[in-house]
Structures are given as structure tokens and as C-alpha cells.
Structure 1
Amino acid sequence: MAKNSPVLALCSLVAIAAVAGPKLQCEAPKFDFGAVIGRESISHEFVLTNTGDEPVVVSKIKNCCGVESTLTPMTIPPGSNAVCKSVFNTKNRYGPQDKQILLATNLRRKPYFELKMTGTLLRPVDCTPRFVRLGDLAVGGEIEQTIVATNLLEQAVVLRSVKSTVPGIEAEIVGVTDGYGQNDSVRTGNVLATKRRKGHKDRAGEVQQNNFGQNDSVRTGLGTTKNTKYTKENSPVVNGLVEKEDADRISAPRRSWTVRLRATDALKAGKLSGRVLLDFSTGTVTVPVMGSVKPGIQVVPERIQLSGQSTGLVERLVMLRSEQPFDVLSAKVENAEGTATAEKVAEGKWKIKLTLAPGDVGSNALLRVGTSCRLQPDVVVSLLSN
């Protein structure tokens, strides 16, 4: 027995060393939130326990993108608990997710303690295209752009409204197709006309017309129709989805909506930027829109800088170009002393010769050119003096 005592003593020391110091444990370090619709934040609280005999000190928390975490307290005494609350922002994130949360600690063997949030984010509605690039448009031109939104869920959803934030452009629903290719609904005026399959007969209680989840005309047994206005109080939508008994009256799984963009007024030269907002019962889908409107007549330069200290008259040239032929009908200088003379250089190309007195240029001085271009009858060049 005496021979084995040194060995026993050594084993005891190893055992004591194994439990000495700070030690951090979490019964469920991985949180699987399952398959959910990616439209809101997901929160979870991890409970941590110090099972060692020294305090656990957390100096920093490193989160994956989209995750924010707080730990209370940051110093965990022996035998005590702490709660790490992690919030995952799922906006615009879809597909499998594996989010890592690392706690930088004073643990000796593994200073970084790992927590995880995993799961799958479902895209309730997919839009084609997901980003609208209008490219270069002409002043006063038309826009030929549609967006097709498709319900990817097995449950039915409602498209409540569409809206464009791009100045001068509006969005409107022009067609609806159910997920089975049987009925195509196309807006005609303020009503949806439904094209039914050949040989299809109307039945009592069947939807005849609808306004995309807002007004549904339902044929009754008496052969008349009634309109149902859905409000927050009587809406069949529960948690963003439609109750089974009302699904066919509101929309259908796999349904697609066609949204058309159109110019409300003559497009003006400059950048186009904004979004199309599709308000579904499962949340708002945003489609960015970008483009630019090129002037019908290009002007070089767009402004003329003059020195107020110059004496006598100065001459400047302004060039006008267009892909389409046009004529200059007039050219005059306003709020400044000077003259303007127009000369045709080639088809669709003119030059304006200016003779100016820089000392007599007012704050709103400009060159105004009248043209025969219907979309751009006036061309203005600013005259600046310093």
C-alpha cells in the first residue's frame, strides 16, 4: 500500500487540478429555431453556469452578422448563472442559417466559449427581378417593366397593396395567376376579369371577382353577388397566413402577381432611385429600383462660370446635341448683359455663341434656348459669376 501512495497522491493532484479554476457550461449551447418565415427577429436566451471554483470573466462577445448579444452578468461567480440574450435580425436573409456567438473568457484551456443559433429562413414571396435596373431612359419616355411576385409557401397569402417610392413612377397590379395555371385574373378598369377553363361552370359560393384580398364578390345560391370588405376585425388572415376555410376566397398557394411600373408624368432628366413596396400578409417585400433619365437634348456645358473681375466682353460656346433632329427656335440671355447666337452645325447638333459682360451677371442669370423638341422645348444653362 505504501508503494502505491505516491501514485495515488499524483492522481489526486491531477483530479484537483481538473476542477480548479473557472469553468463554463451551457446545457443547450445550440439553439435550432427550425424553419420559419424570415421577416422578424428571433430571440433566444442561453443560460450559462460557472461550475468551477473561480469567477468566469467574459471580456468580449463576438457575433456573426445579423446577431446582437448581451450577457448579464459579464463576471460569473462560482456556482452562479448568467444569461446570454441573442437577437437574430432575419430581415432579407433566407435559406439555411448557422450563426456563431463567441464569448471571450478567462477560461484556461479554451478561452472562447461557443454558442450557436441555427435554422432555415423561408422566403414567403419571391420577386422576379429582385432588383429593377431601368437603365438609361429618355425624357418623357415610357417604362416597360414588370415585377412578378410568387407565393412560395404552401399556405395562402394576401397581397394587400403595392406602392412605388420612385418620383414620377407608380406601381399597379395588372394580373394574377393561381398556382395551378387554371385561372388568370387581369385587371380591366377597377375590376378583375377571370378567364376560366373551357367547360367550367359557376357554382354557388364561388369567387367571381376580387380586388386582391380587399373586396371579394361571391356568388350566392340566389344568383346574386355580395361584396365583403375585409378589415382588421373580420380579416381571415391569422399570423400572416389565411385560414383554411377562407384561403380559396382570398388567394391560393403558389399564386403569382404581376406588378407593372409606369410613369405618371413625363420623366425628367436625372437619377431615378427608390423602391417598390409589396405589402403582403406575411410582411412587406421591397424591390429596389434604380435608373437614370437622359435628356432629349444633351447640353455641354450645363453651366458657365465667369470671373466677376474680368473687364470687357467674353465669349463662350454651348453645344446642343440630340439623336433626333431638332431646330433651335430662340436663344436669349436673361438677367445678364449679353447676346446669344445659334448656328446649326449638323443634323441634331447646334452651337450657341455667347457674348457676355461678366460684371453684369445677376444671381439668376441664364441662357434660355427654345427648341422644336416636344419633350424638351426649353434648354437652360446657368450663368455663374464669382
Structure 2
Amino acid sequence: MTQSRTDSPQGLTLPVWVAAAARAATKVLCGQAFDTPQSLQIPGRDQPLSVPLQSAAPLQGGEQALAISRCDPGPGLDLTRDLEIWVQVRWSQPVTGWLEIVPGEGIGRQGPEGDLCASDFARRVLEANLRDLVPPGRCLQMEVVFPLGRELAQRTSNAAFGVVDGLALIGTQAEVQSSASPDQLRASLDALQAIAGAADFCGSLTLVIGENGLDLAHQLGLADQQPLLKAGNWIGPLLVASAEAGIRNLLLLGYHGKLVKLAGGIFHTHHHLADGRLEVLAAIALQQGLGVDLIKDLLACASMESALQELQKCDSTSADQVWQAIAQAVEVRSEAYLKRYGTWSMRVGAALFDRERQLRWTGLTGHSLLACCGLGIHSEGEEAGFDPSLR
């Protein structure tokens, strides 16, 4: 069956494609005809969303059913493009409720024996489109499979945040908001103008990198201290726009494996456009006096994550010094980037967190900005003071 386009010009997130296959499979299990495209209910949206489907069929004499959809994330750069999504359903005995979601091959888990890694939106969109098909007193067991999920996950930062075995079923809305697209930049610039133009704006802003940075900022209480703005990959233009908008203090908060690009002068951070993270890590490790043999080992690593683990394993103290130097380099490079476009008094601080989402390293300005918010640096499981001599 040939797949048609969705009615969304932006493309749709993984949870929507999973929900389309899940509803089609469940309808077949109930002895009903499935439709393509599927009409899905999206939480918070008045009108249903039309989502195409590949196919659906009963299995084992109708005791089970399988449906397949194919991800279309829209015109942007996205590794999930054309990803096949298989959803198999059957009835089971109710144990914890009316719906049991089983992570199959290629689905990310929170640790090797952990639960399915899925966002709240993913669970809500599934519930919204399956609840009416499940009779009272019955439980629908739904297994989701991404045949290429394990392979594709190796090209993401999932492992850095404890997600193993495949792709996480994440997404906070139906439409894809590409972090590399001009539309995403426009949305961020509009949000920045709204923040800076507010009557009660204090002049300080935290620019968070990605969903993990946003989540950590809320956990730390930064949202209670000053506005937060989630950035995509357009860090450079947002730095300039922040200075132009009159921001006095800007804190960059992000995962160390992402912000390291800024330390190398890379200010559009999408992996399709530029990487160079291992080379930046190696260069700063050399500046900090690490041995040439270790630096060669870092450059030979297959991924940034494996390089981080290698560095930490060899010498944890030196590793901390390298990352503190990287945080300082992020600040220096950011200031240099701003000077290309004008003269402003905005201070740029950097704060980096690790794979356990612990705030670990800052530049000098980042330390000062965090101190103004009453925050310290997390080190070896305890709150620790800041040691400028390590800079």
C-alpha cells in the first residue's frame, strides 16, 4: 500500500506514527476495518489529525493483530525518516490497567531491564486513541517494534542519558519542531522578544540546550529565578539576538557532549552540519597537559560518549580539569562570536551537566551567574565549592 502524505506540512513526531499503527491494529483485533489514513485525536487539539498507514492484518486466527506505519518527520533533517513502526496487539488479563505497553526490538528503555522510555505526550496520545476500542474489564497488550531502532540509536545521545536498546518514544507535541530549521529559529527569536519585552523582565536569561537542559533547569529552580528559553541548534544567532534585546546576563546550560562544540567555535550545533567534538576535546586536553597517548586514544574513540568514558576512566581529576577548561572556552568563544557583530555589555556564562544530569562544570562567568541564583556545583555526589585555580 502506498503511503500518502499527512495533513501536517511540518511532519509528525514518533508518538503520532505509533498511535496510528496502534489504533489500526486494535481495530483489526476488534474485527473492524482499518482506515488509511487514520483519524487520530490529539490531546489539546480540537480537530482530528489524518495520519497515513502502511498496512494492518490479523494474526493467529484473529487472536492478535499487526499494523505498520512509516515515519515522516517532514522536510527537515531527521534520522527517523522512513523508519518502519510495527505495533502488535492482543488481549491479556488486566493487571495494572486497561493498557500494557511492551517495549519490543529497537525501543529505548531506561536501563537494560528498565521500563519503556516514553514521554507523557506519547502515553496520552495512545490513551486518547485506544481507550474507546478496549471493552470494560479487558486489557490491551501492545508491543511496539522499531526494526532499525537499535542501529539508529547509536547515532543519538540516548546512551548518555541512560536510554539503551533503541530509540526513545519521545515528543511533546504532534508536529515536528526541527531544531535545525529556520522556523525553529524564528519561534525562538519571537519567544526571546516576548521575554525581553515583558514589564517585569530582570535582564537575566537562561538559554537551555535541548529537553534535558530544560528539565534540569526546572529541577534546579532556575525557572523561579529568571526566564528560561529552550534553544535548538541556532546558538549563534540567539546569542546575538539576546545581546540586541538588552539581555545583561545570559547563562548557557547544556549537556557537556553538546556544548563542547561551542568551545571549538561551532555555533550551529546540528550534527548534520558540523561535529568536531572529539577534535575539540583532544585540543583542550592537550592544552591541559594530558599525555599524547591518551589524546590519541580519545581521537580513536568511535563516539563522543566513549571518549568521555575513556577520559574519566584514565584520570578523573584531569577529566574534571579538562571539562572546566571546556566550560571556560565556551564563554571565551561566545564572547568572541558576539564581537564579530557588535559591541555589547552582555555577560555570557556556561554551565555544563553530565550524563547523570548533574550540574558539574562552569566557566568563571557561569559560576558567578549561578551563585547569584543560589546554586553551587555538583561534584562527586556532593555540593562543592568553586575553585578558580582549576581555570
Normalising by structure 2, what TM-score? 0.28
Normalising by structure 1, what TM-score? 0.28
| The structure with more radius of gyration | 1
Counting helix residues as a fraction of each chain, which structure ranks higher?
Answer: 2
Counting strand residues as a fraction of each chain, which structure ranks higher?
Answer: 1
